Each structure stands twice: as C-alpha cells, then as structure tokens.
Amino acid sequence: MHAFDVLGDPVRRRILELLAGGEQSSGDVTTVVRAEFGISQPAVSQHLRVLRENGFTTVRAEGTRRLYSVDPGPLKEIDGWLEQYRRFWTGPLDALATEIARGRRERRKAAEDDG
C-alpha cells in the first residue's frame, strides 16, 4: 500500500496524531477513535494493523497490553517526496510571517506613542 493510501484515511491520520503525542495503548487509542468516529473496536484494530504493516507504527507488548508508537521512517520518506513541492508554500508562508511581524511592530509602536 502506498503511503498516501495509508494516510488518505481520516481514521488512520487521527491515530497517528494521537500517537505523535507519545506511546499509547491500543485500548486508549480505540476509546478516542470510537468516540470521535463512531466505529467498532474491530474496525479500529484494523486501522492499527494497516498502520503497523505499512511501517507507520511500531507495537510492543507489555503484559496483555499492546503499546503503539509512531515510526518516523515512512513520514521521512513522505517529507522527502514533498520537498519538490515545498517551494509552492514556503515563499508565501515567509511573506505572511514578515507581514505578521510588521503588524506587531506597528501595534507596539502605536501603543508606545499612545502611552
């Protein structure tokens, strides 16, 4: 399965978002995903399996619990592929940052002049 096929599913993206905060048990992930998406526990397990089998997560056993964490390898590959397109948003984002900084300076100066 291609990385974008894996990440094209909103449930799997949400699972990765949850795991980006640190290792979590499958039960904790399932609780959140079931509440947010209204899917069954077996469906969440299937999404976890797809992520694991495609290298996006790792799992380790701790007693009867299964603890999942993000494996950054495939995400680095996606980042490398996106590099060729980064120029389309880097310049506009830099320009936006400049305008935000300019606006802050102007507000600060106006506040000093009023004070």
Between CA 20 and CA 59 the distance in angstroms is 14
Question: How far is residue 15 from each of residues 1, 39, 52, 78, 113, measured CA to CA in Å?
Answer: 17, 13, 11, 17, 50
C-alpha angle 88/4/31, rounded to 5°?
A: 115
pTM of the model: 0.74
At residue 89, the pLDDT reads 82
Quick one: pLDDT at residue 101?
A: 93
- Please give the backbone phi and psi of residue 56, each rounded to the nearest 5 degrees, phi first: -80, -20
pLDDT < 70 stretches in the chain: 1
Strands 24-25 and 65-70: antiparallel
Quote the Cα angle for 87-20-12, to 5°: 85
Residue spans of the domains in the chain: they are 3-70, 74-113
The pLDDT, as a whole number, for residue 39 is 97
Phi-psi region of 15 (alpha: psi -120 to 50; beta: other; left: phi over 0): alpha
CATH of 3-70, one of 2.40.30.30, 1.10.10.10, 1.10.287.130, 1.10.390.10: 1.10.10.10
Over the Cα atoms of the chain, what is R_g?
A: 21
